[in-house]
Amino acid sequence: MASTLKSLRALSAPSRLRLLALLNESELTVRELTEITKMRQSGISMHLGQMQEAGLVESSRDGKNAYYRVARDNGTDNNRLVELAAAGAVEIPEHASDCVNLKRILERRENQDLVYFNHVAGRFDSVYGPGRSWQAFGQLLLRLVPEIAVADLGSGEGLLSELLARKCKRVIAVDNSEKIVKFGQAKAGRNGLDNLEFRLGDLQHPPIDDALVDLAILSQALHHAEEPAQAIAGAFRILKPGGQLMILDLVAHKFEQARELFGDRWLGFAESELHCWLESAGFGAVDISVVSREEEEPHFETLLASATRPA
């Protein structure tokens, strides 16, 4: 009876119900649980310790990582408690986003190239090397871009569009500012970029024919959209079957001044929210990762999302 009471006490907090429901689906590290739930790492470790003491959770090591899971062979009573906890977690508001984020994490595990890239990116600025810069790497990678048709949605003055136009077959830059569109088109003309065209329009309904481009880009533009989900649906419409959408934007934050300082409509996006919008629009092969974090306050984080229109 004492162990049953201890288990019940361990399940008395909604946060622990969330964690146990996730561990009931898969083995996970503290770092993965932090990314899934957005809870503090120290809090997660405390909750796991309490559930481990109650015999509900156990862990094992694989190299430097400790993986947590629902305890195996923990008795009929505890098995029933785990089932009740998983059922109760469904009623917690964060459960839906936990499920979406769990799916992302498990898919990422299968993509070792992405894991390696994140590892390399984290080391990039740690050691100085003459001439070693992201700008140089960017120019190198630009040479690898195939000759495709690209839509740069919410392009602004078109810095990215100009770079892509030097390699791509065709680039269509869309912005809702008539002044910026005129400026960008004039600059493209001066630089001899005949394959770069600026068009006036909004993100929700880009003025581009259906199934016209191979790649659509929303680079730090989606948080300016009135209806982000509609903007994603608009990108789906203009992509050819098999075409790809790439989104760079801010992770959800609480820096309210961004609305006034930068004209942001949205204070970034949760990865789970973005994932749902992409799938609802019809995209497949969705992948979302946080790719940078600013050192200065308010420590904006940037996510990179990619998705494909089924062929």
* More confidently predicted of 132 and 27: 27
Identify whether residues 199 and 69 lie together within a single domain: no
Share of the chain above pLDDT 90, in %: 65
Model confidence at 2: pLDDT above 50: no
102 falls within a domain = no
19 falls within a domain = yes
Identify whether residues 141 and 87 lie together within a single domain: no
214 falls within a domain = yes
DSSP character string of 145-199: --S-EEEEET-TT-HHHHHHHTTSSEEEEEES-HHHHHHHHHHHHHTT-TTEEEE
Range 166-177 burial, b when 16+ CB lie within 10 A, else e? ebbebbbbbbee
Identify whether residues 253 and 154 lie together within a single domain: yes
The first and second tokens of residue 58, run together, are: 């156990």
Identify whether residues 133 and 188 lie together within a single domain: yes
Identify whether residues 234 and 273 lie together within a single domain: yes
- Which SS3 state, helix, strand or coil, does residue 23 take? helix
Between helix 41-53 and helix 30-37 the angle, nearest 10°, is 120
pLDDT of residue 1: 40
Model confidence at 292: pLDDT above 80: yes
Identify whether residues 262 and 289 lie together within a single domain: yes
As for how many domains the chain has, the answer is 2
Domain boundary among 70, 96, 122: 96
Domain boundary among 96, 127, 152: 96
Average pLDDT over residues 156-182: 93
Range(s) of the domain holding residue 51 = 2-96
Identify whether residues 70 and 147 lie together within a single domain: no
269 falls within a domain = yes
Q: pTM of the predicted model, to two decimals?
A: 0.74
Cβ neighbours of residue 228 under 8 Å, at least 6 residues apart?
A: 222, 266, 269, 277
The pLDDT tens digits of the residues spanning 242-289 come to 999 999 999 999 999 999 888 999 999 999 999 999 999 999 999 998
Identify whether residues 92 and 131 lie together within a single domain: no
* More confidently predicted of 141 and 150: 150
- Local structure of residue 40 (DSSP, 8 states): -
Identify whether residues 86 and 138 lie together within a single domain: no
Confidence grade of residue 81 (pLDDT, cut at 50, 70, 90): confident
101 falls within a domain = no
End-to-end CA distance of the chain: 58
